[in-house]
Structure 1
Amino acid sequence: MDYKDMLKDIKNNNLKRVYLLYGNEMYLKDYILFDIKKKYIDKAFESLNLIYIDGKETSTDLIINACETLPFLADKKIVIVEDLPLFTTKKETSNIDEEELCNYLRRLNISTCLIFIINEEKIDNRKKVVKTIKQNGEIVQLLKLRDMELIKWTQSIFFKNDKKVSKLDIQFFLNQVGYYDASSNRTLYDLENEINKICSYLGDRTTVEKKDIEKGVIKSLQNNVFALVDALGQKKTDIALSIFNDMILENEPIQLIFHMIIRQIRMLVLTKLYEEKGYSQGDIAQKINVPAFVVKKLVSQTRNFSSSRLDLVLEKALEVDRAIKTGKLEWKLGVEMFIAELGE
């Protein structure tokens, strides 16, 4: 189940008795909770009908007692338990009796909606409590928004600020902020902050242009790596070295920069391979597990490389990586030699 299905449950007044929310996009969690409060909670009785519990400090009895109290002048009581260690593989001490909690979830009062929230990318699906929630309620994964859904959301935030922006410029904005970068932990909250900065910079102007985005947003690591590899493809060694040194000045770890360079080259090798086999950009996106707009950029970048040159670049990168890790080369020197050699 995704967040949109839970929003439908709220809208249709069809809340299940128990939910487990987890994932890396907590903006969606807050969006869901906002809708629940708006639909079910009267502000005058909020302290009685909406209960927050810190999962790291609670016990089975406290959770059960909170759920057993009937709602006051309302149809539903909402109990939210956040960051209960029981759901992850992490070994943390807990006062939760899993067997007792599972037994209670099977007979949870229909007037109560119990919502567990885990601010983690993964849960332990082997746990009995997870299986019990699947049988008696719903598990909602809060994933990053993708493709058109992300574009529509971004457009709506600009619109909320009374600004207009084209879809092409939205894609440019998303590339710049690095929402989908492999090393990125950016959320929709971060994107919203970046949008607010751009809108403040615009002042009374109502149309957002590419130059406004360039001035208002700091380039992500992935974006800089893409530009560096692009320069390598065009054999512009001076530009590639300049980008590399700028990243170091921005305090990006050299090890991470080189790791991202190798990752970018691997994605180019795969993109070139699938493209030559006749795969569509949509199919390639699924194969290498990146958004469609990223594949579009990758396909464009592969034009600078033949298949044999890409293989050579990847082989050289791995060779330098081994030399650095075995102490034969120092990190900065090794990466600079790699850039210089491939730019010749």
Structure 2
Amino acid sequence: MQTITDIKNLTVQSLPPILVLTGEDVGQFEWLKKEISKNIGYDPSDLNYSYFDMKEASYVDVELDLVSLPFFADEKIVILDHLLDLTTAKKRYLTDEELKQFESYLERPSESTRLVIFAEGKLDSKRRLVKLLKRDAQIIEAATPKEQDLKRYFSSQAQEMGLQFVGDALDQLLLKSGYDFGDLQKNLAFLKAYKEDGQIRLEDIEEAVPKTLQDNIFDLTQMILQRRIDQARALVKDLRLQGEDEIKLIAILLSQFRMFSQVKIFSEEGQSESQIVTSLSELSGRKINPYQVKFALRDSRRISLAFLKQAMMILIETDYAIKNGSYDKDYLFDLALLKVANAV
């Protein structure tokens, strides 16, 4: 977790002339952004700080602020948020001419301005703007950490908070949080408030950490595969009471079975786990969470491609029937669960 170490001692005094925070791990990115803002003492009422949301700001105003002298100090800090023009995202906020003007500024930045850039996503290394920043700026990347690094970091965080995980409780917290940095931060804080004695056991994780829809769909999938139909129907009933729609449930189930199929095919072709992550990311056009692949590989081993193909066809046909209004959607969804279970 080098990124956290990089900002731990960051202050106004140690802030480099240009600092860029980027990365595809959304939870970690948002946490790092808050920490950086806190560490440099950002205060919207302080005239030595200027904040621009690039989704709304005019570049004319940004450039004027970049080159103007500070009023009450020797230096001022300019923050550019959501500068997606640096990333591979299709969204752009600056025109080609404005990008050239910004490049010109970066080649000769003001000595009295400290520039902080928040650009969520993956930096586009082909852009001249990014090449300039890689040459002259300090870049902090919120990259998806390895499982062991994540476990080590949150184990340390727990100790600082006076929490002690008993047995496999930490592993269960990681699993229930989807190995997501942001969710782990929130759930750790929740457990701190939940258990006054600081002893966190497996049952505490199950009772205190709320299940996500993805958790419930995972449970539903396991029930179907194990033909525990009564339990599956009871879970679906609970999800309906929570306001979840059958169309949405089908979409997530389809996504899960599709992931099983893809990793199984790539695995049978001889691809390693990391190669499968790369292949799926290229196929989908977005960064695939490595932990999704890890668990999909584990859970798909005992499932045949023939079953997965049949299960997806059943769900697709059910989705069509529900949207077409052929029968009651509750009946159609329950029937689909039975068909998929019987196909195992």
1:30 to 34, 58, 70: 34
User: 3-state SS of the aligned residue for 1:109?
Assistant: coil
**Closer, same or farther: CA 333–35 of 1 in aligned 2, 3 Å:** same
2:157 is aligned to: 157
Give 1:112-261 correspondences, 5 Å limit.
112-118=113-119, 121=121, 133=133, 136-137=136-137, 140-165=140-165, 168-178=168-178, 188=182, 190-204=183-197, 206-261=198-253
Whether the 8 Å contact between 2:103 and 2:129 is mirrored in structure 1 is yes
Query: Deviation at 1:93?
Result: 9.7
Distance 1:168 1:286 in 2: 30
What letter corresponds to residue 142 of structure 2 in structure 1? Answer: L
1:184 is aligned to: none
Whether the 8 Å contact between 2:173 and 2:184 is mirrored in structure 1 is no
Whether the 8 Å contact between 1:284 and 1:295 is mirrored in structure 2 is yes
What letter corresponds to residue 177 of structure 1 in structure 2? Answer: S
User: 3-state SS of the aligned residue for 1:103?
Assistant: helix
Distance 1:275 1:98 in 2: 43
Give the % identical residues. Answer: 23
Whether the 8 Å contact between 2:4 and 2:32 is mirrored in structure 1 is no
Deviates more, 1:208-217 or 1:171-180: 171-180
Query: Deviation at 1:311?
Result: 2.8
What letter corresponds to residue 184 of structure 2 in structure 1? Answer: L
Whether the 8 Å contact between 2:179 and 2:291 is mirrored in structure 1 is no
2:284 is aligned to: none
Distance 2:290 2:64 in 1: 45
Q: Does 1:79 align with 2:83?
A: no
Give per-residue Cα distances to partners, 1:318-339, cap 9 Å, x unaligned: 3323434455455433322110
Query: Deviation at 1:127?
Result: 7.4
TM-score, scaled to structure 1: 0.74
What letter corresponds to residue 31 of structure 2 in structure 1? Answer: Y
2:306 is aligned to: 308
Give per-residue Cα distances to partners, 1:247-273, cap 9 Å, x unaligned: 222222332221110111122223434
**Closer, same or farther: CA 285–106 of 1 in aligned 2, 3 Å:** closer
TM-score, scaled to structure 2: 0.74
Query: Deviation at 1:145?
Result: 4.4
User: 3-state SS of the aligned residue for 1:115?
Assistant: strand
User: 3-state SS of the aligned residue for 1:105?
Assistant: helix
Whether the 8 Å contact between 1:146 and 1:291 is mirrored in structure 2 is no
Whether the 8 Å contact between 1:85 and 1:92 is mirrored in structure 2 is yes
Whether the 8 Å contact between 1:54 and 1:83 is mirrored in structure 2 is yes
Q: Does 1:52 align with 2:48?
A: no
Query: Deviation at 1:234?
Result: 0.8
**Closer, same or farther: CA 14–115 of 1 in aligned 2, 3 Å:** closer
**Closer, same or farther: CA 92–178 of 1 in aligned 2, 3 Å:** same
Distance 1:296 1:85 in 2: 30
Whether the 8 Å contact between 1:254 and 1:331 is mirrored in structure 2 is yes
Distance 1:309 1:115 in 2: 52
Whether the 8 Å contact between 1:50 and 1:77 is mirrored in structure 2 is yes
What letter corresponds to residue 193 of structure 1 in structure 2? Answer: K
Query: Deviation at 1:277?
Result: 5.1
What letter corresponds to residue 80 of structure 1 in structure 2? Answer: I
Q: RMSD of the TM alignment (CA)?
A: 4.1
User: 3-state SS of the aligned residue for 1:341?
Assistant: helix
Distance 1:152 1:71 in 2: 45
What letter corresponds to residue 164 of structure 2 in structure 1? Answer: K
1:183 is aligned to: none
Distance 2:269 2:102 in 1: 53
2:103 is aligned to: 102
User: 3-state SS of the aligned residue for 1:113?
Assistant: strand
1:318 is aligned to: 316
Give per-residue Cα distances to partners, 1:249-301, cap 9 Å, x unaligned: 22223322211101111222234344555555555555546555544543443
Deviates more, 1:133-142 or 1:227-236: 133-142
Give per-residue Cα distances to partners, 1:55-109, cap 9 Å, x unaligned: 43455345433554269777x6432123468667557799x94443332222102
Deviates more, 1:144-153 or 1:218-227: 144-153
Whether the 8 Å contact between 2:16 and 2:138 is mirrored in structure 1 is no
Deviates more, 1:104-113 or 1:128-137: 128-137
Distance 2:98 2:290 in 1: 45
Query: Deviation at 1:231?
Result: 0.9
**Closer, same or farther: CA 207–337 of 1 in aligned 2, 3 Å:** same
2:285 is aligned to: none
What letter corresponds to residue 239 of structure 1 in structure 2? Answer: Q
Distance 2:6 2:60 in 1: 25
Gaps of 5+ in 2: 282-287
Whether the 8 Å contact between 1:21 and 1:115 is mirrored in structure 2 is no
